[in-house]
Structure 1
Amino acid sequence: MTTQIKDRNKGPGSLVSRVGESLRTAIASGQYSPGDKLPSEVELTETHGVSRTVVREAVAALRSDGLVEVRQGAGIYVLSQEIPAPFGRKIDRARVSSDLEVLEVRAPLEIEAAGLAAMRRSPAQEEAIFDCHRYILQCIEQNESIREADLALHFAIADATNNPLFRQHLEFHGTAAIPQSRATPGERSGEQTAYRRMIHTEHEAIVVAISDRNEEAARNAMRDHLRGSQIRYRDVLRDFKAFSS
């Protein structure tokens, strides 16, 4: 598990990033136009030589950026990018609401996972958690999305519980389990960076507590982080309502 996490987080060459960037390039170049159906999950796993989990995470990232939609039983379809939205980004209220529901269900499990990780983590698992935390900072400094790196950190914490069901729960939801930042226009990109650094600081409290084997502090830090995530999601919904009214 630890090796897989580290391999998945070696910057632009990571598996999820590689598959995601390949699909983004194909969409941007016109290989797939709005309304076109992307290759099936099975075809994508064969083409890129990766697991279904990697494909699902890559597709989830594209979906969260408004590039594709997944139609149950029909496949993955490219969305039109021609209609402007608030701050230049499409906000899907139904998706944000659904992600908020995922966060609410996820909270008690991840709070428990943080406490168990503090008690059970091995030195190798501790190293994996720190590696993931450092990679998030690297993404921030390079002005890149932290969503995949954020998910990898939570995977590493789940693995440190030594109970595979915690990771399976996160894998089921993919990047929907990770907080989405509020959309901001290009000239206000500093707000996006500030948001990402705030997330990094919240993660640091969790990581340090796990490293110190402080079960109570780990649970409290994870609780504070997830409560903050829920508040931020509700802010996104309020922004949507204000724009729509």
Structure 2
Amino acid sequence: MERISSDNNRRRYGTLTRHVHDTLREGILDGNPAPGEKLPSEAQLIERFNVSRTVVREAIAHLREEGLVDPRRGAGVFVIEPADAVGPALAGIDSNRISSVVEGLEVRTAIEVEAAYLAAARCSPLQEEAIIRCHREIGKLIKERKPTIDADFAFHLAIAEASNNRRFIEILKSLGVEMVPRAALEGPGAVTPNAYLERLHEEHRLIVKAITDRDQMAAREAMRAHLAGSQQRYRSYLNEDTNLS
């Protein structure tokens, strides 16, 4: 009975910490408080959320790890500017060189495989919902025969955000929407074969399932398989004059 009670307490503590963290994080990302401004005091946060000092401090610690706040002894917790984007060497894909698309996929693999692994362990309920929402949006656009490139980028970015490692987010943002290979190869107005999109959507589904199941190894392998498949498809472009199907 004592072990069960202890486990329940740990789960409740974790849920409260995530709630405080997610609420504060969402406000910061919306500019409330803005960079340079202070979060409410510890006492105010305790009263606002009706939680213990330990819960508040743990939530603040997570925000600090994400590079969103800077606790200053005796002064308070200040919201800080997001770190500058990583260097121009990662700024986009050269759409005139298919080899550049492959290089981008290799960079993405190095980042996103681990991001998916961490997302399965760290994602909050709000972040999990964002991933699911992005996946559903892609499916909706496929059925409507509308462009999916921006939604695809949003899906992968949501996973990076769920890893709670801001460096992953910075790198993907620096690559931009061109990180989705068909954005670079097809050009404006091109129509991607539906069978190809359905295959990608299924690969995405396996990633979502692993993350929502909190299966870190499955998430890692599902993302690796997805990006390895993309690499293979686009490497074939170097040697063959084929379409995406």
TM superposition score category, shorter chain reference? 0.5 to 0.7
Find the aligned partners of 2:236 and 2:140 in 1 and give their Cα distance. 27
Greater C-alpha radius of gyration: 2
- Work out whether residues 2 and 125 of structure 1, in 8 Å CA contact, stay in contact via their aligned partners in 2: no
The equivalent residue for 2:36 is: none
Between the two proteins, what is the percent identity of the paired residues? 45
Find the aligned partners of 2:231 and 2:224 in 1 and give their Cα distance. 11
TM-score in terms of structure 1 length: 0.57
1:148–1:220 distance in 2 versus 1, CA, 3 Å: same
The equivalent residue for 2:205 is: 204
The equivalent residue for 1:153 is: 155
1:117–1:147 distance in 2 versus 1, CA, 3 Å: same
Find the aligned partners of 1:141 and 1:97 in 2 and give their Cα distance. 31
Cα RMSD (Å): 3.2
- Work out whether residues 180 and 233 of structure 1, in 8 Å CA contact, stay in contact via their aligned partners in 2: no
Find the aligned partners of 2:165 and 2:133 in 1 and give their Cα distance. 21
Listed one character per residue, the Cα deviations across residues 139-178 of structure 1 (whole Å, up to 9, x for unaligned) are 1111122111111001100000111111111001112221
The equivalent residue for 2:176 is: 174
Deviation (angstroms), 1:105? 1.7
Q: Number of aligned residue pairs: give it.
A: 156
Listed one character per residue, the Cα deviations across residues 56-109 of structure 1 (whole Å, up to 9, x for unaligned) are xxxx79x95xxxxxxxxxxxxxxxxxxxxxxxxxxx3x2x21111111122121
Task: Structure 1 unaligned segments of length 5 or more: list them.
Answer: 6-52, 54-59, 65-91
The alignment partner of 2:214 has SS state of coil
1:163–1:102 distance in 2 versus 1, CA, 3 Å: same
- Work out whether residues 2 and 128 of structure 1, in 8 Å CA contact, stay in contact via their aligned partners in 2: no
Listed one character per residue, the Cα deviations across residues 113-160 of structure 1 (whole Å, up to 9, x for unaligned) are 000000000110000000000010111111122111111001100000
The equivalent residue for 1:164 is: 166
The equivalent residue for 1:237 is: 238
The equivalent residue for 1:194 is: 195
TM-score in terms of structure 2 length: 0.57
Q: Find runs of 4+ consecutive structure 1 residues off by over 4 angstroms.
A: none
Correspondence 1:85-234 to 2 at 5 A: 92=96, 94=97, 96-180=98-182, 192-234=193-235
Deviation (angstroms), 1:2? 7.0
1:144–1:235 distance in 2 versus 1, CA, 3 Å: farther
